[in-house]
Structure 1
């Protein structure tokens, strides 16, 4: 049994003005093939898939040359058509030369947006299908922020989507994909699926599955999986910062040869979400940054520390709105992690600890990033990978070349920072920070913030310059009925 393994993943913020290019996918370690690909993410989807696939005798995994996640992370815009064609073209050619295959595994995200390719994941599946043939099976794993409609499962047989946000079950979904792909190839699992779109669109900061109502829908999916053997329920929340035609919430259901059951469960999940639509779009309180910083000061005075100020809206990493307000309101004992500024990092990479620092940082890349902010202090540490600057009353600013989400306290240790030295943690994250700051019980006060104007990452989606999405087709922007 020969299974081709492919990886092509990006979460695209199509409103950013810096496209994701061929060069962004090429760096030491990327592209990768064979064992380098199969071993590159041992705790994630790939690790789960490879582990379980190799538990079955007679399974040969063939790692097809694939690009890694782009060096820009999620802080870049449209994937260029040149990049998509280059890497998928190489995949297709390698599938032809190294085949035949009994199946293929696609390790993908679901929120990639490509110029000129409306549904890139479905298009990848279509091209893979054209090579491996109609009798082979295709399984995929997805991030829950995937934007997918019925097109993907027209070309692929199975999909397995992470259920939790933060994403705790990536390895598990990889395990499932391997187990069911092997079973399908052996003939004892006959995939029958249903896909239902729900006209609800939400910002990702609202999609935390650690509390109701999002948690309740995850539990409903798990209950269906427990009730019915060989059933898998995907709850795709959607990613509104990709300006693509299949944006929004989706339910996919996979069964063993029972299409009626798949449709019944998909409809049930859709109806359940629709009944709670008002709760879903109001699931979190988001403060404007001036108000959030003022609330942090009061919490600091009361001793309700540690405090997290999470700017969920910064999609480039360069945004300075929160830094500016921290300085304006003289907030102290703060670590600001991070401000992206590749030029600033390059300019001071040879500086020594204690050297004076006086520079404008951040901003510049677009209107949503704001204006650069002058920071006066001293260098704590500097290197090509980033720098830390001491300023104000016990404050430290972390500079990075690209957008960085600090989601675990251990990430600060990588910068030689002791979390115990700070009372306020000003970070760039939507929900993933809850992994290290909330689920652990660390933070006593959590404040979600965004700029006064509805820039790229706002919960006020009506402020985004959509060209391919009509918000009037979605709740809460229109009074709709569920189809």
Structure 2
């Protein structure tokens, strides 16, 4: 029998330390598309929705896709923006509930709104109020989810990504779809349990390429082959959200019809959580200050590729402002040659510079305007306008290959021997096209400085002679004690470094 499944995507990672609110416009700029239009955009790309549709074709479902909504990580989501998306999902559930067999949602797991700490839990609660307890609901989560008890209560099946950089979003969607099909067919009766440790996040942010968590992902895949164990999700947490349920979790979805499955699921979850706690001091990244990073760049041998410098602390992908200037200033002061830096997210500068013809030499204040105390204030720079663009591009890398992306009005501003990409809209560097579309060829540069924590590695590490990471002092500094936590439960690691459990 063919099943009828409602699908939707509603994704935001909320940094509660960032000023302001993420309004509906942020979703409109990034992704806010409904029905078949959303499917045309995302239905055959490295996305959760593509995985859902793969599962639908495999099982012969009828799919009603409501909406795909995504905004770049930022401040808390406004009530208006949350209700706009949630109301459309809930209205579709209400209208179709008599024929629906299941619901499949692509979520993040770290959405905080202006009126509640748990956006995903709120959405699931509203849906459960419409369909009751019996209809199976499956969700996918980013592995940086702060997975809450409410999410676990109202979602029967939870599947998180197992890669960071996130290159398995489509696979996660496929897994969730297959488990939902098994539940709708009556083959399983899924339930999910949660293990949690008192930490802001896993110390390496869930890196799947290096570090002590890598074997845990492999173990999770192996556990998923056991009878009754349907999904094992390791969530590193998102420490930039100051909420009660912050921190790493392990979620195990199991078949409650199978005797002993719940006990085995609990053993798996607690065992993995224990390891996350035990390795809490085993940091993979060496966080250089900007001066030391530039010293390395000055003497770097580029014969095997450029030096990639990642500004970890000013990563727009964790909600940072993306306009910190400490690293850029150090690069200019260090007289780096054949270098590039980007993005500097500065709408005022992009607008002002774009008013001049290409080739003009202009003096303008660049960056540092949101909070100069975090990562450096504006730099008054004189340079040549090399390119002006509408900022639109199509990614071709492992994370956004085939997907449209836009930085909005953008300018390449050459100061000394550094090409600076100044943009209007937010976005971290995770695809080579985010430079190449603006005439900057990363492979031909000696130094490529970019704003990202980890996702950049998927596209940039293959071309790099070396990768280094720096802490520019911006909003997402790895020095968590510099953020004014008020809601996270105490004691918690690393704010309370001597905590024992």
The DSSP-based 3-state class of the residue aligned with 2:195 is strand
Gaps of 5+ in 2: 315-319, 392-409
The aligned counterpart of 2:37 is: 36
Deviation at residue 304 of structure 1 after TM alignment: 6.8
Deviation larger for 369-378 or 325-334: 369-378
State the distance in 2 between where 1:287 and 1:30 align. Answer: 35
- Counterparts of 1:173-188 in structure 2 under 5 Å? 173-188=172-187
Structure 2 equivalent of residue 309 of structure 1: 309
Conserved? CA contact 2:79–2:114, under 8 Å? yes
* Counterpart pick for 2:434 among 404, 411, 414: 411
Alpha carbons 2:16, 2:76 under 8 Å: kept: yes
1:237 aligns with 2:236: yes
Q: CA deviation at 1:253?
A: 0.5
Q: CA deviation at 1:200?
A: 2.6
Return the alpha-carbon distance in structure 2 between the equivalents of residues 307 and 30 of structure 1: 32
Equivalent residue, structure 1, for 2:269: 266
Pick the aligned partner of 1:449 from 470, 491, 496.
470
| TM-aligned CA deviation for residue 370 of structure 1 | 2.3
Paired residue secondary structure (2:250): strand
Do the aligned partners of residues 472 and 341 (structure 1) sit closer, same or farther apart at CA in structure 2, a change above 3 Å counting?
A: same
**Equivalent-residue separation in structure 1 for 2:186 and 2:37 (angstroms):** 30
402, 419, 433: which is aligned to 1:396?
A: 419
Match for 2:94 among 90, 93, 96?
Answer: 96
Measure how far apart 1:244 and its partner are. 1.5
Residue 126 of structure 2 is aligned to residue 127 of structure 1: yes
Give the one of 344, 355, 358 matched to 2:360. 355
In structure 2, C-alpha distance between the alignment counterparts of 1:325 and 1:420, rounded to whole Å: 22
Most deviating of 201-210 and 172-181: 201-210
Matched, 1:2 2:1: no
Offset, 1:206: 4.8
Q: Report the Cα distance in structure 2 between the residues aligned to 1:212 and 1:347, rounded to whole angstroms.
A: 44
Q: Which runs of 5+ in 1 are unaligned?
A: none
The residue number in structure 2 matching 1:105 is 104
Instruction: Determine whether 1:371 maps to 2:377.
Output: yes
Q: How far apart are the structure 2 equivalents of 1:331 and 1:203?
A: 35
User: Which of 383, 407, 410 is equivalent to 2:389?
Assistant: 383
TM-score (norm 1): 0.91
**Against the structure 1 CA distance between its residues 207 and 288, is the aligned structure 2 distance closer, same or farther, given a 3 Å change threshold?**
farther
Contact residue 474 and residue 480 of structure 1 kept, 8 A: yes
Question: Which residue of structure 2 aligns with residue 192 of structure 1?
Answer: 191
Q: Deviations over 1:29-88 (max 9, x none)?
A: 95422212334323211101112112222x211122x35212xx22x2111223223321
**SS at 1:259's partner residue?**
helix
- After TM superposition, the score normalised by the length of structure 2 is 0.88
Which residue of 2 is the match for residue 256 of structure 1?
A: 255
Q: Which residue of 2 aligns with 1:87?
A: 85
- 1:113/1:243 contact within 8 Å kept: no
- Tell me which residue corresponds to 1:422: 445
Looking at structure 2, the residues matched to 429 and 204 of structure 1 have their Cα atoms a distance apart, in angstroms, of 17
Q: Tell me by how many angstroms 1:245 deviates.
A: 1.4
